[in-house]
C-alpha cells in the first residue's frame, strides 16, 4: 500500500485501509474502488490522505484486519467510557476500558503490528483519535523500554484517558477558536487534576494510571502544570505520556493551528530533550519512531519522488525509498530503490 494525499488520488484507485470517523464508524471500507464522486465526497468530509492498494508496494503497510477491528472497537468504546465515567457508572466504564486493554494485548503479542508504528490518521476528526493514538504511541515506547505486560496495559489506559478531565470543563472553553482569557486558561490547566480525581475512584489514588493522567503536562525543567513538578518528581508514566501526547497532538490539525509536518513534529520532541522531556525517554523515542511513515511519498533533494518502504535503525531521517514514477510526468517506471543511509548526498526535502 502507499499513502497518498487525497489530491493525488485518481479515479479507479482501490482503497487500502478503511476510513474511520472520530468515533470509530466506517466512512468507507477497504477494497472500495474510488470514483471521482467518492474522492470529492471524501475531500468535503475532511479526508486529506488515504492508503491505496499498489502491487508494487504490497510488501509494506499490509492490512491487519484483527488490529483494525480492535482499534475500531476501542474508539467506539471511548465514547462509552467518557459517558459512564461522567455518570459515575464504574461497572460499565471498566467494561468499556477492557476494549482498550484487548487492543494493547494484541499489540504486545503480535510482532507484525509494530509495522503500524505510525498507522496514520487519515480523517481530520479529533474526537477520539488523539486519545487512542496517544495510548498506542505510549505502548510502542513502553515495548521498546521493555516494560512488563501489566505495566504496558496500565500505561496504555493512562495514556488513552489522559484528557478525561476535560469532561469537567465547559465545552465552550474546550472548543474556543481564539485566545483564552486568563480565567479560561486557569480552568484548562486544571484538567489533569480533574482527570486524576475522576480516575482515582476507579484505580486508587497512587496508582500509575492516575499519575500518568495527573502529570502528562508536567515538564522535567519544572515549567509544566498543574504543579510545576520537575525531574524525578514526575513519574515514569507521566514522562512517557507527556511525549506521546505532544507528538500525537502536533501531528494533527487543531482548532487553533495547523498540524506540523512529520519531520517538524519529530524534531520538536528531540529539541525538548532534557528541558520539556526526559532525555532517556527521548532516546527511546528516537529508536522507536521514524520521521517519515511507511508508505508515505517523499521528495528527495535531487527532485525524485518515492515511497518509504523501510526504516534504518538509529537513522530515523534516512529511510529506504522505492521510486515508482517519473517525478515529472507521474508515469510508471521500472521501479528501483534508494537507501538514504548509503546515498549520503541525498536528503528528504518534503512529504509529497
pLDDT digits (tens, 9 = 90+) for 248-305: 877 654 443 455 566 777 888 999 999 999 999 999 998 888 888 888 889 999 999 9
Place of cell 519512531: 289
Distance CA 255, CA 258 (A): 8
Is the distance from CB of 209 to CB of 101 less than 8 angstroms?
no
What integer pLDDT is reported at residue 254 of this predicted model? Answer: 47
Distance CA 322, CA 56 (A): 9
| Surface-to-core class of residue 57, CB atoms within 10 Å of its CB (0-12 exposed, 13-18 middle, 19+ buried) | buried
What integer pLDDT is reported at residue 4 of this predicted model? Answer: 85
Name the CATH superfamily housing domain 1-59. Molybdopterin biosynthesis moea protein, domain 2 (3.90.105.10)
What percentage of the chain exceeds 70 in pLDDT?
Answer: 91
SS3 percent helix, strand, coil of the chain, rounded to 5, is 45, 15, 35
Pairing of strands 348-351, 49-52: unpaired
What integer pLDDT is reported at residue 58 of this predicted model? Answer: 86
What number is the average pLDDT over the span 70-96? 88
Return the CATH fold of 64-288.
Answer: Hypothetical protein af1432 (1.10.3210)
Distance CA 264, CA 257 (A): 14
* 226 vs 129, more confident: 226
Distance CA 130, CA 266 (A): 16
In the structure, what pLDDT confidence band is assigned to residue 114 with cuts at 50, 70 and 90? low
* 294 vs 12, more confident: 12
What integer pLDDT is reported at residue 255 of this predicted model? Answer: 41
Q: Where are the domains of the chain?
A: 1-59, 64-288, 297-351
Alpha helices in the chain (DSSP H): 36-44, 65-87, 90-109, 129-144, 149-160, 171-174, 182-188, 191-203, 208-214, 236-250, 262-271, 279-288
Pairing of strands 49-52, 2-5: antiparallel
Residues near 344 by beta carbon (within 8 Å), at least 6 away in sequence: none
Around 110, how many Cα atoms within 13 Å sit in the side-chain half-sphere? 17
Around 15, how many Cα atoms within 13 Å sit in the side-chain half-sphere? 22
Distance CA 2, CA 58 (A): 9
Q: For the chain, give the mean pLDDT.
A: 87
What integer pLDDT is reported at residue 49 of this predicted model? Answer: 77
What number is the average pLDDT over the span 5-24? 85
Q: Which of 167, 240, 242, 241 is nearest to 199 (CA)?
A: 167
What integer pLDDT is reported at residue 65 of this predicted model? Answer: 85
Distance CA 44, CA 131 (A): 24
Q: Which of 137, 132, 163, 126 is nearest to 21 (CA)?
A: 126
What number is the average pLDDT over the span 105-120? 70
What integer pLDDT is reported at residue 206 of this predicted model? Answer: 67
Amino acid at each position: 500500500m502507499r499513502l497518498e494525499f487525497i489530491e493525488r488520488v485518481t479515479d479507479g484507485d482501490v482503497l487500502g485501509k478503511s476510513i474511520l470517523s472520530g468515533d470509530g464508524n466506517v466512512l468507507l471500507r477497504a477494497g472500495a474502488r474510488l470514483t471521482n464522486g467518492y474522492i470529492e465526497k471524501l475531500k468535503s468530509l475532511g479526508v486529506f490522505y488515504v492508503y491505496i492498494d499498489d502491487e508494487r508496494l504490497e510488501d509494506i503497510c499490509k492490512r491487519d484486519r484483527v488490529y483494525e477491528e480492535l482499534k475500531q472497537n476501542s474508539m467506539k468504546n471511548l465514547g462509552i467510557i467518557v459517558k459512564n465515567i461522567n455518570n459515575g457508572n464504574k461497572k460499565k466504564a471498566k467494561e468499556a476500558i477492557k476494549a482498550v486493554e484487548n487492543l494493547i494485548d494484541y499489540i504486545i503479542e503480535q510482532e507484525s503490528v509494530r509495522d503500524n508504528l505510525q498507522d496514520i490518521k487519515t480523517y481530520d476528526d479529533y474526537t477520539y483519535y488523539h486519545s487512542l493514538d496517544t495510548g498506542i504511541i505510549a505502548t510502542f515506547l513502553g515495548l521498546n523500554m521493555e516494560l512488563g505486560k501489566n505495566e504496558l496495559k496500565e500505561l496504555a489506559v493512562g495514556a488513552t484517558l489522559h484528557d478525561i478531565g476535560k469532561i469537567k470543563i465547559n465545552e465552550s472553553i474546550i472548543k474556543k477558536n481564539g485566545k483564552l482569557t486568563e480565567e479560561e486558561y486557569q480552568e484548562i490547566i486544571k484538567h489533569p487534576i480533574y482527570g486524576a480525581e475522576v480516575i482515582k475512584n476507579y484505580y486508587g489514588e497512587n496508582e500509575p494510571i492516575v499519575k500518568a493522567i495527573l502529570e502528562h503536562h508536567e515538564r522535567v525543567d519544572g515549567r509544566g502544570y498543574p504543579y510545576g513538578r520537575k525531574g524525578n518528581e514526575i513519574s515514569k508514566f507521566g514522562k512517557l505520556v507527556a511525549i506521546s501526547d505532544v507528538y500525537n497532538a502536533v501531528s494533527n490539525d487543531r482548532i487553533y493551528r495547523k498540524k506540523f509536518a512529520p519531520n517538524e513534529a519529530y524534531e520538536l520532541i528531540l529539541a525538548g530533550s532534557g528541558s520539556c522531556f526526559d532525555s532517556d525517554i527521548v532516546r527511546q523515542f528516537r529508536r522507536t519512531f521514524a520521521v517519515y511513515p511507511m508508505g508515505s511519498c517523499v521528495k528527495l533533494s535531487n527532485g525524485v519522488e518515492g515511497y518509504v518502504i523501510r526504516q534504518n535503525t538509529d537513522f530515523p531521517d534516512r529511510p529506504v525509498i522505492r521510486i515508482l514514477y517519473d517525478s515529472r510526468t507521474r508515469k510508471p517506471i521500472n521501479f528501483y530503490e534508494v537507501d538514504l543511509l548509503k546515498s549520503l548526498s541525498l536528503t528528504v526535502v518534503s512529504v509529497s
